[in-house]
Structure formats: C-alpha cells, structure tokens
Structure 1
Amino acid sequence: INECVTSQPCVGICTNLPGTYNCACPEGSQGDGRKDGKGCTPIIHEKRFRSIDVVLGVSISFLLVLLVVSWLYWGLRERKISRQREKFFLENGGRLMLQRLLSEHEGSVEAARIFTDEELKKATDHYHESRILGQGGQGTVYRGILPDNTVVAIKKAKNLDRSQVEEFINELIILSQIIHRNVVKLIGCCFETEVPLLVYEFVNNSTLADHIHKCAHESTLSWRARLRIAGETAGALSYLHSDASAQILHRDIKSTNILLDESFLAKVADFGASRLVPLDRTQLTTLVQGTLGYLDPEYFHSSQLTEKSDVYSFGVVLAELLTGLRALSFERAENERNLSLYFTSAIKGERLFEIIDLRVLNEGIPDEIKEVAMLASRCLRVKGEDRPTMKEAAMELEGLVRVMDRHPWVNQSCDLEESEHLLGERSSEYDGILKSNASRNDDSISNQVPFEIESRR
C-alpha cells in the first residue's frame, strides 16, 4: 500500500518505503515534514541577506568615490601640467619663435618644426638611459624615433638663463635656416619643458675624435679621408662666417663636435655655444667659453670673440688630423701636453715629420702634408690678425683635395720599417723648407707659453 497516496501524512516530500514511508521538507525549508509533527517552515536568511547588501553597498560606494577622486586628481594634474607647459612655452620664447617663423617664412613653419613635450617623450621612451648618445657640460643628447620612423638626435640642455631667451631664439631662427651639407641640420625644437629641447638630424657614424683616437691602435681614417674631412669642415665654417644671413661664430670647434655619416661626410655640430655677430660689428665681448686645448689664447686673455677664434680651434683639429694626437693630454710629456704648442714647436725645431701619424706618412704625398701643416701653423698663430680666414683655409684645402683626386697616390705598404725609413727621408727632405717657415712662427710659440700655463690651471 502506498501510504503517501492513501493517507497523505506529509506536508513536504513523501517517500514510500516497504511497510512505511518517510517525510522530508523541500529545499529552503526546515522541519520533519509530517502533518502531525512540526511540518515544514521556510528558512529565513533575512540577516544574512542584509549583511551582504551592506557590504556590497559600501564596496560600490567606495569604488565610485575612488573613481571620482581619481578622475578629479588626473584632471587637475593634467590641467596643471598643461598650464606649466604653457608657462614654459612662453618663458622659453615659444610665442616669439612662432611669430618670427611666420613672418620670415610667410606662413610656413616647415623650416623649424615645433614639437610637443609628449612627442619627444614618446620618441625617446621617456628619455630612457639606453637612448643616451652623449653627455656634456651643456646637456644630454638622446636618440629619438619620430612616428614616421625618422631617427633624430634630441638635445636636452641643462639650464638656460631667462634673460638670454630672446638671444637664444634669434640664434635658433638663424640655425633653422642653415642649409649646408656639412652642418648638422636643425629639424625643430620644443618649448614646453623647463629648458628648450633641440631636435637635430641623426648622424650615425660617431665623431671625428672617435675615428682618430679610439679605434684600437691605428686610426681608421686614410690620409685622403682626413684631407677631405678637413676641407668639408673648413667649408662649413667659411659658410657660417661669410655666407649665412648673419655671421655665426661657433666658439667650440673640436674633433668631438665634427660628426661623420656612413660615407664619412663631415658635419659640424653642437651650436650651443654659438653667437650671432651683428652686421655692424666684427667682434663680441663675452664670457670665455670653449674647450681647453682648442681655446684661442687671444680670446682667452681679452674675452674678445672674433671669427679668428674659430680659425685657431680649426688649426688644432688640423694638427690632430696630421698627428693623430689629442689636443690636450696629461699622459704625454710636459712639453707635449698641449698639441698646439707641441706642433708649432716641432715645426720650429724642424721635427714636423717626427710627430706626423704613420698612416699619414705612408699614404700622403710630402707636398700635401707640408702644405696642410703650414696651414695649421698659420691658423695657430697667437695674434688673430695673422691667421687666415676660414674662407682662405677652405679654398686652400679644396685645392689640395682637387689635386689629390686628379693624381691619386697611395702607398700600399704599411710596413713599420719602411715607414721609419720614409719618416727619416722626408724629414731630411723638408729640413730646409720647414726652417724658412718656422722662423715666421717664433712669435707664436713664445707668446703661447703663458696660455699653456693658464690652461693647466
């Protein structure tokens, strides 16, 4: 007999069993499930539900408050950054730069692009250490990649006197207009940072100094390449001094500021110390700035900057190219530390070919070496008025390059014994020639001694 059907003793779930039955309450209720017992009553979760509701409500409210606060914080932060960028833009002369660009280029700003701070941060991976190309007294240069995959060099200056902003902008305007194959091209700038950032073309084959001094024990530069680089550098400086819209004095010519591209084309770089010379003046009175070993002694003593100051520095670079020696080295003997003094002393003492780099001796024609050495010695004269102009130096070097191209001569033997024989042979050959030229430089040598002492200080 199915008692669950006949007597229906349960209020919940009735399960018929042999000779008996079993009552149970459905899920969500409690009791014995019998009609004559406790029956079934719903299980009340009121307190539990209320606890969960409270926790969820507090959590959601907290998240909403956090989101609102975060939104307000980032909004205020971005507004502050935007105002700061605008402030820097105005302080750094951004408005003046734009006005000048618009007026001088008739509405086109292609001559010098003005970048935003965000653009340059993305280009340099937020100025990551791995992007540093070099560091110096005036700032740090980073390798940057623009959205169109153009590789650029971004110079981040250390500081800028606010009183010099207009002068800085004037120089920037001039540099943005320089189009010369041997001058590093200024692509643009950024005024939204505490100090302006300059964006230059990227030159990928290191500096002249690296190729002369840092490539194992022997320079990678042939005599032909050295002469061509000297001519290109002289041509760039001649352009800056004589052919630019306003005369530009570089003021820091040295082998580390001459960059080389993949075909060893020379490009003059780093115009951070440069100065514009007004049309009605031939010299400027400035605080002495430059690099020891390359610094014009006349400028050092008088603070009068002229185009001949660049000529002197170029003379030191010529001496570096000829000898393979650094401009200043305390690893050398005391009388050889300052290359300009050592070089002119060697000419005076008829010992020029004893200090010429062996590769230059092996590959160069004696007449060429002598002419470049004599040009270098004239550039190194203490009195600026006795030095040639950069235009004269450039013409002389271009003439030598043309002759070399017409009559190439390369001594393929690099044997040291032959080099030493060649050195002695050429030294004898030019003893008489150098003696006559050396007498002209006596004044330069004697007058440079005080400068050498000052430089060591």
Structure 2
Amino acid sequence: MKPEMETRERDEISSLPNLNSMQFSALISSNLTWVFFLFFFINFFSLSQSDPRISVASLFCGNSTPPPNTNYVPTFVKEMEVLSQLVATNHWGHNVANSTPPIYGLAQCFQDLSHTDCLLCYAASRTKLPRCLPHLSARIYLDGCFQRYENYSFFNESVDPIRDSVNCSSSYGDAIGDEAFSSEFRKNVGDLVDNVTRIAAANKGFGVVEAKGVFGLAQCWKTVSRDGCRECLEKAGKEVRKCVPSKEGRGLNAGCYLRYSTEKFYNDEAEEVNKHSGNSLIGYGIAIALAGAAFFMLSLSAAYAGYVRFSKLKEERENLGQVSTLYNKSSLNFKYETLEKATDYFDSSRKIGQGGAGSVFKGTLPGGKTVAVKRLLFNSRQWVDEFFNEVNLVSGIQHKNLVKLLGCSIEGPESLLVYEYAPNKSLDQFLFDKDKIQILNWNQRFNIVLGTAEGLAYLHGGSQVRIIHRDIKSSNILLDENLTPKIADFGLARCFAADKTHLSTGIAGTLGYMAPEYLVRGQLTEKADVYSFGVLVLEIVCGRTNNASIEDSGSLLHIVWKLYRTDRLADCVDPCLENDFPEKEASRVLQLGLLCTQASVACRPSMDEVVQMLTNKDCEMPLPNQPPYLNASMLQPNRSIRSSGINSLVSNILAKLEASDTSTESSFMQTSDGLSKSQELQQK
C-alpha cells in the first residue's frame, strides 16, 4: 500500500444519539420557572431602559467535531470565561486556549454601545453560541456585538469567500414600493455605504452616518488591519446594496459588520446611560442574570455532549466485546504480545506500507511464517466500521485473488489485523515508481488483469454475500511471489442483500477511479467496481496512471479513447514492453477497459462477463461508447474522498452523466468542470 492522504468516512453530528427524553424533560422542567422569570425580567426592564441590540442577525456552526475522548466542552467553557473578563474590561477581547484541539476565541461589542449594553449583548451571545457545540467552529452576529471561535487562528481574516453572508430582513416594515422613490433610495444607500466605509477605515474600524433618511453603521474587529478593514467593508458594501429596496440590510463578513436602515438604530453618545446610576444598577443586575443563563446553557450543553460521547463509546465497546467473544474462541485470535515481537515491536525498518487506516508491518511468527500486520489507528468511530469490514467480510470469503485474513488482535493497547504476506508488495510500485522493481511483461500484465477480474467477480456474486469493494486501484492490488494479484484493503467495502438494486451511501474512494454516477448520486452498485477495474486495466496496459496529465493532453481515458477512435490502440501500450506483445490481444484488453469505463451504467459489463471476454477469445466484445473522462487538473495523485457526502453542487450535472451513449465530448468536459469545482469547494 503506497502512502496516501485519505479522509475516512465518518458520521455527521446530526446522527448522534439524543438524551433520554425523560431525563431531558426533567432537567428542563426543574429550571423552567427560573428561566421564565429571567426572560420576563430582561424584557420588562432592560429593553425599556436601553437597547443592547441582541437580535440575532446570523448564527453559523461549522461541520467538524473534536476527536473522541477530548475535554473540548470544559475547555470551551473556560475560554468563554476568559473572554467575559476581557469584554467586561475592554469592550472586546481575543484569546487562545492551547488545548487539543486549540480554541481561538474573539468577542467584540460595537463601539456605540454603552458598557452596560455591551455586557447585555455579550451575555446574550453566550447563551446562543453553545447551540453549535461540540462543533469546532461557530460565529454569531448580533446587532450589537459579535462572537466567534475556531480551531485555527482567524484573527487577521478580513473576508471569507465561503461563509461571508448578507441579511436583508427588516423589522421596520416592507420594502420600498414606489419605483421612483426606490431608485432614489438605492442611490442614498450607495452614498451612505461609501461614506460609512471611508469613515470607519479612517477611524479605527468604526463609523456611523446618517444621510437623507438612511442610517448606517460600520464596525471592524480590533484584530483586523486597516487595509483588511477597508477590504472587508467594501465587500460588505457591495452585498448590502443588493438588499435594496429592503428597508434594511446587513453585511456579515469574517472581519466586519455593516448595516443600513431607514430607522435610527445606533447610539449617538455611547456613555449617556452610565450617567444614571439607577439604570446602571439595573443593567448590571441584568448582566448577572444573563451570565447565569449562559452558565446554565453551557452546563446543559456540556452534559449533553458528555452523554453523547459516553453513549458512542459504550456502543463501540459493546461491538468490540462481541468481536472479542467471537474471536477469542477461534483460531483467528492472536495475542498482542506475539504480534508485537513478530514485528520487532513495530520497528520502522519493518514498515512496508501506510494507509489512511493505519500502518502495515512485516512480521515473522514464532513458527517462521511471514505475515503482514496492519496496525489500526484507533481515533474515531470510523475505526470500528472499518475494523468490522475487514474482519467480518474478509474472514468469511476465500479466493485465490483475495488477500487472506489470518487473524486479529483486539485485546492490546491497539487493534491489529494479520494478513498473508505478499512479498512483491503492490502493483503500483511495478507500474509507476521511477525505480521500478521490474518491468512486467505482457503475459504477467494479462494475468494480473484476469486475476483481478476473477477476484471481483467472486466478490460480486461468487460467495453467499454480494460485496462491493469501492476502492479498486493499483495500490490495493498486492502481488505474491508468483505475481498473482490479490485484492486488499476492505475497509470501505459494503455488502447488501440479493434483492437490493443499489445502496445509498456516503461517497468514498479515490478520485480517478470512482464511477461518475456514484460520485454524483451516491448510489452504489457493482458497476462502480467495474468502472474502477476499467481504469485499472488501462493503467496496467499503458503503464501510466489515470491520476496525472500526460503532456497536458488530458486524462488516460481521454488518450485511450482518442486512439481507439483512430484505430491506433496499440500506440497506448507501455513503451517499456518495446513492442514485445500481441497487438490484437492488447487492443482487445484496452477495448475492454473502455467498455468498463462507459458513462452509462447499463452498458458496462458485469465482472462475470469481463472474465468471459478475457478467457474466451471467441466471445464477441461490444463496441464501447465514450468514457466520462475528467479534466486532468482534478485528477492529482492521492486525492481521495472518504467522507459522508459531497458538495450539492454536483447534483446539477447528474443529467449530463445520464445522457445518451452518444453524448458529445464537450458535455462530458463540462461535467468534469462541475466535479472539479465541487472538489475545490469541499477542500476549502
């Protein structure tokens, strides 16, 4: 297995188990009276005396979550306490919690707010932000303050192309209706935005302006530079102009906040309210009450997160317990100490491969048998899923072209899988390494193609279960001492019943080998493996990887198809063979590769049919249609997808992938562009 960067499939936070409903209801009921009194007190007193502008303009929660067994929520609570002290003293603050993962936090009140209103606004933001826990990032825009936390340093960010947004909603009535007045209103808003941006950029990031019945406020965060402030406000200004004819608009960017309104919403004299001691005392009382509410919400969130984590850990241990009971009583069980000694305590000199799920080491058992020991990374729920796949699927099937699972160990500090050892390692080292182990001759290549096809045919229907591998590629084809191919790495494999036509599952696999209909829709059938096999066949015959541009002429599928159209398939064969191959047979195998990589799922042959075409030269082979070759710019080595989904942008290109078999080349290239854009968004 060649080193590669892979992001494994994992569950979304929305799928986590919920608190027991009775426990949750009891917890809420015990505090309901106090919470009701608190909010009655806030609404009756504070809002009648001042306006802390605690309306939520936007709340954004990130997607990533912390690794299991980390004290993320307690660290988050401490970070909020530090920010509270800074805001109470300075009107704003930023801090870093040097934990794993780290927490970078920022909170800031708008400059026109009084000290009391600032405390009220910040307290309100603290009660709402924990809704995003345990996600690693969140930001909340209130009309009087801003708060954000991340697992990376964002303090100098002025704009964010992905998450910057605009809010055109208004609490002051409908949009401007009169067309003539609307045109004038648009001009007034534009003038106001220009003026308030200029003033804020020159005035330490803050400015307010009134012009012809339109009021505006601009506020940059203290951590953003002057140039960054100007850039942020200019972008926000362009966006809020689009809100017209709405009576109100807000630009909500990474480094600033910009608002216009037909009603005056900001304070002329920020400290005016502090002149009245009675109001000040009420304000401090309210701030204390809201701080109590914030503490309550955080405690509740921490309890929930703890319960979820405990439930997941309990479930995983129960699953492992079942496996442990099963394999402790079978010949598949290995003692951890035995495998540790067999690999010289996992010495680096024994390491023969590295994958996304862990490292592989060469080991020698006490009886002298050489084995491959896969050392699994125990760092997330996906570990359990992949362990179950490897053990349950591979141990139940036996075929000469499938790597054989000899056993496992799950009682030690880490879990280990033991496989038969393939001394010639993986196919990609023969095909693509600069310093090739040896040059494979034509017969060896043909036998590897045939053996891999037979192994896949067995997976798809030769045993009691139907299994789809999902990650057929050269690095997952191991070669024994006789160069017999053995399909390996079943961590992503899926099995399904005979009455099922497909599975709907998260996208997983390696770009360049993934069937286009699976990449777009997530509907998995055996034909996804057929497509991957077709790409592999072309790579074996041509000696070139599909995941690279060749003389900027496009992907390997593109090149083979063009030569097929001009009846020059033999020109594709690996030059290392020096024309020592049967031209007719090589062209037939390449044509088979094109058949397997057709865009139409129905037109691809089954693996049983593939085996028949390879073993019976008299078997008629259909003519292939154009494959959905992709732009070489997106097919870069080691770009793998191991996630629960892909950006919804690809959905609008599905029709192109389901087009007729005579689709034009341009339509497929447009499809490829769409997939490239979706990948770029996902990486961001």
TM-score after normalising by structure 1: 0.65
Could you tell me which residue of structure 1 aligns to residue 93 of structure 2? none
Amino acid at match of 1:449: M
Deviation at 1:334, TM superposition (A): 3.0
Pair 1:371 & 2:588 matched: yes
Deviation at 1:129, TM superposition (A): 1.1
Amino acid at match of 1:234: A
Pair 1:449 & 2:675 matched: no
Task: Output aligned runs, 1:27-66, within 5 Å.
Answer: none
Could you tell me which residue of structure 1 aligns to residue 113 of structure 2? none
What are the superposed Cα offsets for residues 152-177 of structure 1, whole Å, 9 maximum, x if unpaired? 11112224644874785365223112
Question: Secondary structure, in 3 states, of the residue corresponding to 2:373?
Answer: strand
Question: Secondary structure, in 3 states, of the residue corresponding to 2:545?
Answer: coil
Could you tell me which residue of structure 2 aligns to residue 96 of structure 1? 322
Contact 1:155 1:199 in 2 (8 A): yes
Cα distance 1:376–1:445, how it changes in 2: closer, same or farther (>3 A)?
farther
| Aligned equivalents of 2:314, 2:341: Cα separation in 1 | 19
Contact 2:390 2:489 in 1 (8 A): no
Cα distance 1:212–1:203, how it changes in 2: closer, same or farther (>3 A)?
same
- Structure with greater proportional helix content: 1
Choose the corresponding residue for 1:212, options 404, 420, 431: 431
Deviation at 1:193, TM superposition (A): 4.5
Pair 1:143 & 2:362 matched: yes
Pair 1:109 & 2:330 matched: yes
Choose the corresponding residue for 2:553, options 300, 320, 335: 335
Cα distance 1:147–1:226, how it changes in 2: closer, same or farther (>3 A)?
same
Contact 1:89 1:191 in 2 (8 A): no
Cα distance 1:164–1:216, how it changes in 2: closer, same or farther (>3 A)?
closer
| Aligned equivalents of 1:124, 1:210: Cα separation in 2 | 23
Amino acid at match of 1:392: E
Pair 1:256 & 2:482 matched: no
Question: Secondary structure, in 3 states, of the residue corresponding to 2:359?
Answer: strand
Between the two proteins, the alignment pairs up a number of residues equal to 331
Could you tell me which residue of structure 1 aligns to residue 570 of structure 2? 353
Could you tell me which residue of structure 2 aligns to residue 321 of structure 1? 540
Cα distance 1:127–1:444, how it changes in 2: closer, same or farther (>3 A)?
farther
Contact 1:144 1:152 in 2 (8 A): yes
Contact 2:439 2:576 in 1 (8 A): no
Choose the corresponding residue for 1:304, options 519, 523, 526: 523
Cα distance 1:251–1:388, how it changes in 2: closer, same or farther (>3 A)?
same
What are the superposed Cα offsets for residues 70-89 of structure 1, whole Å, 9 maximum, x if unpaired? xxxxxxxxxxxxxxxxx999
Contact 1:378 1:386 in 2 (8 A): yes
Contact 1:144 1:153 in 2 (8 A): yes
Pair 1:202 & 2:421 matched: yes
Contact 1:88 1:193 in 2 (8 A): no
Deviation at 1:315, TM superposition (A): 0.4
Could you tell me which residue of structure 1 aligns to residue 95 of structure 2? none
Cα distance 1:329–1:439, how it changes in 2: closer, same or farther (>3 A)?
closer
Deviation at 1:223, TM superposition (A): 0.8
Deviation at 1:295, TM superposition (A): 1.4
Could you tell me which residue of structure 2 aligns to residue 391 of structure 1? 608
Task: Output aligned runs, 1:271-286, within 5 Å.
Answer: 271-286=490-505
Task: Output aligned runs, 1:101-250, within 5 Å.
Answer: 109-110=330-331, 113-159=332-378, 161-162=380-381, 165=384, 168-169=387-388, 172-193=391-412, 196-214=415-433, 216=435, 220-250=439-469
Greater relative contact order (CA < 8 Å, ≥ 6 in sequence): 2
Could you tell me which residue of structure 2 aligns to residue 24 of structure 1? none
Could you tell me which residue of structure 1 aligns to residue 514 of structure 2? 295
Task: Output aligned runs, 1:15-30, within 5 Å.
Answer: none
Contact 1:203 1:260 in 2 (8 A): yes
Deviation at 1:450, TM superposition (A): 4.4
Contact 2:389 2:491 in 1 (8 A): no
| Aligned equivalents of 1:217, 1:201: Cα separation in 2 | 23
| Aligned equivalents of 2:385, 2:536: Cα separation in 1 | 32
Amino acid at match of 1:382: A
| Aligned equivalents of 2:577, 2:401: Cα separation in 1 | 23
| Aligned equivalents of 1:141, 1:376: Cα separation in 2 | 31
Cα distance 1:148–1:88, how it changes in 2: closer, same or farther (>3 A)?
farther
Bigger Cα Rg: 1
Amino acid at match of 2:356: G
Cα distance 1:142–1:347, how it changes in 2: closer, same or farther (>3 A)?
same
Question: Secondary structure, in 3 states, of the residue corresponding to 2:616?
Answer: helix
Question: Secondary structure, in 3 states, of the residue corresponding to 2:548?
Answer: coil
Structure 1's unaligned 5+ residue stretches are 1-86, 103-107, 404-433
Contact 2:476 2:489 in 1 (8 A): yes
Could you tell me which residue of structure 2 aligns to residue 19 of structure 1? none
Amino acid at match of 1:333: E
Deviation at 1:353, TM superposition (A): 2.9
What are the superposed Cα offsets for residues 31-53 of structure 1, whole Å, 9 maximum, x if unpaired? xxxxxxxxxxxxxxxxxxxxxxx
Deviation at 1:358, TM superposition (A): 2.9
Contact 1:254 1:294 in 2 (8 A): yes
Contact 1:115 1:190 in 2 (8 A): yes
Cα distance 1:170–1:326, how it changes in 2: closer, same or farther (>3 A)?
closer
| Aligned equivalents of 1:185, 1:160: Cα separation in 2 | 26
Could you tell me which residue of structure 2 aligns to residue 418 of structure 1? none
Deviation at 1:144, TM superposition (A): 1.3
Cα distance 1:239–1:300, how it changes in 2: closer, same or farther (>3 A)?
same
| Aligned equivalents of 2:435, 2:465: Cα separation in 1 | 42
What are the superposed Cα offsets for residues 250-299 of structure 1, whole Å, 9 maximum, x if unpaired? 11101111111121111111111111123331321222111121111111
| Aligned equivalents of 2:346, 2:383: Cα separation in 1 | 26
Cα distance 1:358–1:218, how it changes in 2: closer, same or farther (>3 A)?
farther
Which segment is superposed worse, 247-256 or 440-449? Answer: 440-449
| Aligned equivalents of 1:320, 1:283: Cα separation in 2 | 28
Question: Secondary structure, in 3 states, of the residue corresponding to 2:663?
Answer: helix
Contact 1:204 1:260 in 2 (8 A): yes
Cα distance 1:167–1:356, how it changes in 2: closer, same or farther (>3 A)?
closer
Deviation at 1:200, TM superposition (A): 0.5
| Aligned equivalents of 2:568, 2:437: Cα separation in 1 | 22
Deviation at 1:361, TM superposition (A): 6.8
Amino acid at match of 1:388: P
Amino acid at match of 1:329: A
Question: Secondary structure, in 3 states, of the residue corresponding to 2:508?
Answer: coil
Deviation at 1:348, TM superposition (A): 3.0
Deviation at 1:394, TM superposition (A): 1.3
| Aligned equivalents of 1:195, 1:279: Cα separation in 2 | 35
Deviation at 1:191, TM superposition (A): 1.4
Deviation at 1:219, TM superposition (A): 6.0
Amino acid at match of 2:580: E
Choose the corresponding residue for 2:561, options 344, 350, 353: 344
Question: Secondary structure, in 3 states, of the residue corresponding to 1:290?
Answer: strand
What are the superposed Cα offsets for residues 300-347 of structure 1, whole Å, 9 maximum, x if unpaired? 1111111111101100111012211112114x33333x2223322332
| Aligned equivalents of 2:411, 2:562: Cα separation in 1 | 51
